[in-house]
Amino acid sequence: MSYFVVGYFAFLVLGSVLSAHFNRRTPFLLLFSLTLVSFVLGIVGGTDMLRMVAIGAGLLAFAAGVSYSFREFLIVIAPVGVGKELKTAPLTAAFGMFVVFTYIIAAIFAPVIAPYGEAEVISSAYAPADENMLLGADQLGRDMFSRIVYGARNTVGLALAATISAFLIGALAGLLAATKGGWFDQFMGRVADVIMSIPSLIFALLMLSIFGPKTIVIIVAVAIIYSPRVFRLTRAVAGNVVVMDYIEAAKLRGERTWYLIRKEILPNSMAPLIAEFGLEFCFVFLLVAGLSFLGLGIQPPTADWGSMVRENATLISFGDITPLIPAGAIALLTVAVNFVVDWMLFRSSGLKER
């Protein structure tokens, strides 16, 4: 038995005993559960499996520490009202906000962070990582790290623009349908049903095949695909607001439709709409990355995470994880946004933690 195994289990057992002694129920359950799982995995997989478990537990502990520190930082710099809300945020939401903040910084300061240009050839094809290239080179000899950083600007920026377009169209149509009602409400509902009946990927591929893989075409196609989803949610939320007494009072005062939307309906519908924006961004982001993987999204030599997975996919056959790095960047942002959205949905639902 190696010193690592002895020290590993000694640390877990000691931590479990101290947690139980000081009546720290949550840390005790975590540490002792990890002890039992490690015992079973150690018997099955040996020392190598225990090392993997230790690395995984260390990464989770590091992520929890960073999330806690980032949440406390936001509480300090935020206004008092916002700070009180942030205190209720779980560590998962804090982790999501930290990841989103990191992606925003990478997107804004990409030319400063990236050591090379996104299309600059600096080495041979598939060159291994060294002191100049942290992640090695791609199939043309371009720095993978630089392209990952620029991909944060290109992929996320395109997805954000498409999401905003879809949200503006769907939310505006939903608010108008809920306010006006009648034939306009019925007509918009049937249009949304027709668009939603078309598979999103097939519709996007059809649009891009006809008009070409241009940025504006991608934004328009995505806006058409996802605006009906936003419309239906907005129509449902606003429909519960327009029947309130204060809306009837505003109508009796002679207020116009735009006043009702801006001053009465929209402010009382913001919480679920903001959460829906986060969910729609995840869907749009994955669709844009999928289109790029198929070769119909952002075109070379512009750096894009979806196309980077396709271009370097052959390395997987040789045991190289380089193609998984842009795929991991896509997955990480999607999970992070979902963490934040889950917390926002919990807050807007009116539920309270016990």
Q: Specify the CATH number for the domain of residue 277.
A: 1.10.3720.10
Find tokens 């991608």 and name the residue: 218
Average pLDDT score over the chain: 84
Domain boundary pick from 57, 87, 117: 87
| 304 and 167 co-located in one domain | yes
Residue range 49-78: mean pLDDT, rounded: 87
Residue 292's closest CA among 166, 198, 167, 156? 156
Q: Is residue 97 part of a domain?
A: no
In a domain, 117, yes or no: no
Q: Which of 99, 9, 2 is nearest to 53 (CA)?
A: 9
Question: Collapsing DSSP states into helix, strand and coil, what is residue 121?
Answer: strand
Of 35, 57, 87, the one marking the end of a domain is: 87
Share of the chain above pLDDT 90, in %: 6
Q: Which domain holds residue 60?
A: 3-87
pLDDT band at 1 (very low <50, low <70, confident <90, very high): low
In a domain, 66, yes or no: yes
Residues with Cβ within 8 Å of 158's Cβ and at least 6 positions away in sequence, in order, are: 215, 218, 219, 288, 297, 298
Q: Is position 163 within any domain?
A: yes
Place of tokens 């075109």: 299
Would you state the pLDDT for residue 210? 87
Binned at pLDDT 50, 70 and 90, residue 354 comes out as very low
Q: Cα-flanking dihedrals φ and ψ of residue 126, to 5°?
A: 55, 35
Structure confidence at residue 349 (pLDDT): 63
Whether 157 and 82 map to the same domain: the answer is: no
CA distance 203 to 195: 9
**Do 209 and 297 share a domain, yes or no?**
yes
Q: What gap in Å lies between CA 18 and CA 30, rounded to an integer? A: 13
pTM: 0.82
Q: Compute the average pLDDT of residues 43-68.
A: 84
**Domain boundary, last residue among 87, 115, 136:** 87
pLDDT (tens digit, 9 = 90+) per residue, 90-127?
Answer: 889 999 999 999 999 988 898 888 888 888 888 888 88
51 and 176 within one domain = no
CB-based burial label for 115 (10 Å; 0-12, 13-18, 19+) = middle
**Structure token pair of residue 242:** 């327009």
pLDDT of residue 317 exceeding 70: yes
pLDDT reading at 350 higher than 70: no
For the chain, what is the domain count? 2
- Residue for token digits 């038995």? 1
> What's the CA dihedral at 339, 346, 175, 218 to 10 degrees?
10
